[in-house]
């Protein structure tokens, strides 16, 4: 994959973030999502790639744009694209933290074709012994192994978990072990990625969120050198059938990070609302600023890109209303 592709892709996540940011706090998740989808799609179609959306906004019959299998780009190298035009639609609608626009890219065939189901996930940052935490370990073992590896007490650790009734037991167990918790309302790509930020104050991410978001998080952590494992979680027969349609035979399989995102991958995200990782969009007369992160697995380089956009000179911003 071309080096420049990563930097080109920032323009795409920026466009989606600028579009979605207009709807921050407006209480309309759908409108915010649609604005991001439209802008992301237009911008992707301006890139010199032969792109295929493999993780997208659902299947063709249920999503009008950026559906799985949709072709994007002007032509060029064959690239598979995993995307979430607005990761955190509810966060955006409420003006809450950590909403962002996300794209990961890999050479064809390198992302797991994850169905739109849930995934049980566990993630830690870089520089830790391989397997220091494991999806099949008890909460206590994971916390004590992690504490040992980080030369910390369990009571110093901070675990990020999505605030959901389905996590009640896990939350209780973490508390019983004496570790601390950050409960997030939404946005587990940002939650998983936070483990890789030295100063984020998050040591471990755990819990059940979207499977597509699991692939995106895996791509991000491939770039940072973090660890990630995931297992699909099905709520009903329909979801099982969906997974089988994507060629998934072993429903109980534990996916290691490079089974979710293998080979050279890149990850790009732009903040929509302020978050632990990225600052949200700031709008002012005639323009706006954005902050993005661009990472590649090949080199492990991670860049923060601060951009100032001049709406008077960029005609395509007209589409943003």
What residue ranges bind ligand VTB (CB under 6 A)? 87-88, 164, 186-189, 209-210, 213
Smallest gap from residue 269 Cβ to ligand VTB (A) = 12
Question: What DSSP line would sit under 309-320, residue for residue?
Answer: EETTT-GGGGGG
CB of 44 to Mg ion, least distance (A): 15
Query: Judged by CB under 5 A, which stretch of 83-91, 144-152, 285-293, 297-305 contacts Mg ion?
Result: 83-91
Q: According to the binding rule CB under 5 A, does residue 186 interact with Mg ion?
A: no
> Out of ligand VTB, Mg ion, none, which partner does residue 188 contact, by CB within 5 to 8 A per kind?
ligand VTB
d(CA 288, CA 221): 29
Query: Which residue of 70, 84, 188, 239 would you call a contact of Mg ion, by CB under 5 A?
Result: 84
Q: State the minimum distance, in angstroms, from the CB of residue 214 to ligand VTB.
A: 7
Whole-number Å distance between alpha carbons of 199 and 183? 18
Please tell me the distance from the alpha carbon of residue 125 to that of residue 84, in angstroms, as a whole number.
Answer: 22
Q: Is 15 helix (H, G, I), strand (E, B) or coil?
A: helix
Q: What is the DSSP letter of 209?
A: E
Quick one: which of 87, 116, 188, 239 contacts Mg ion (CB under 5 A)?
Answer: 87
What is the signed CA dihedral for 191, 197, 198, 203, rounded to 10 degrees? 20
Kindly write out the interface string for residues 31-70 of this chain, putting x where it contacts Mg ion by CB under 5 A and - elsewhere: ----------------------------------------
Question: Closer CB to ligand VTB, residue 87 or residue 239?
Answer: 87
User: How many other C-beta atoms lie within 10 A of the C-beta of residue 119?
Assistant: 26
Q: How many angstroms separate the CA atoms of 32 and 46, rounded? A: 22
User: How many chain residues touch Mg ion (CB under 5 A)?
Assistant: 2
**Taking CB within 5 to 8 Å according to partner kind, which of ligand VTB, Mg ion, none is near residue 80?**
none
Q: Which does 187 bind (CB under 5 to 8 A by kind): ligand VTB, Mg ion, none?
A: ligand VTB
Contacts of 315 (CB under 8 A, 6+ apart): none
Give me the least distance between CB of 305 and Mg ion, in Å please.
22
* Nearest in space to 103 (alpha carbons), one of 92, 95, 111, 115: 111
- Tell me which residues touch Mg ion (CB under 5 A): 84, 87
């Amino acid at each position: 994959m071309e080096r420049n592709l990563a930097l080109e892709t920032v323009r795409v996540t920026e466009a989606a973030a600028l579009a979605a940011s207009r709807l921050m706090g407006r209480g309309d998740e759908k409108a915010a999502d649609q604005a991001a989808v439209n802008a992301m799609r237009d911008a992707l179609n301006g890139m010199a790639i032969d792109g295929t959306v493999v993780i997208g906004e659902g299947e063709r019959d249920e999503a009008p744009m950026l559906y799985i299998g949709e072709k994007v780009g002007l032509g060029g190298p064959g690239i598979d694209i995993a995307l979430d035009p607005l990761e955190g639609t509810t966060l955006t609608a409420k003006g809450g933290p950590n909403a962002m626009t996300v794209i990961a890219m890999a050479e064809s065939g390198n992302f797991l074709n994850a169905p739109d189901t849930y995934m049980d996930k566990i993630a830690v940052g870089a520089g830790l012994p391989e397997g220091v935490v494991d999806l099949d370990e008890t909460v206590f073992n994971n916390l004590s192994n992690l504490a040992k590896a980080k030369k910390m007490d369990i009571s110093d650790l901070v675990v990020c978990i999505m605030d959901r009734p389905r996590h009640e037991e896990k939350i209780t167990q973490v508390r019983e072990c004496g570790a601390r918790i950050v409960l997030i309302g939404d946005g587990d790509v940002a939650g998983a990625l936070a483990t890789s930020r030295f100063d984020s104050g998050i040591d471990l991410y755990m819990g059940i969120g979207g499977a597509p978001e699991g692939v995106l998080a895996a791509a991000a952590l491939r770039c940072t050198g973090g660890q990630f494992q995931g297992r699909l979680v099905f709520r009903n027969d329909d979801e099982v059938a969906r997974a089988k349609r994507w060629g998934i035979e072993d429903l109980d399989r534990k996916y290691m990070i490079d089974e979710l995102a293998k080979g050279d991958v890149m990850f790009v995200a732009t903040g929509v609302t302020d978050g632990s990782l990225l600052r949200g969009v700031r709008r002012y007369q005639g323009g706006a600023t954005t902050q993005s992160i661009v990472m590649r697995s090949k080199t492990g380089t991670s860049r923060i890109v601060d951009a100032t956009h001049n709406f008077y000179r960029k005609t395509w911003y007209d589409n943003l209303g």
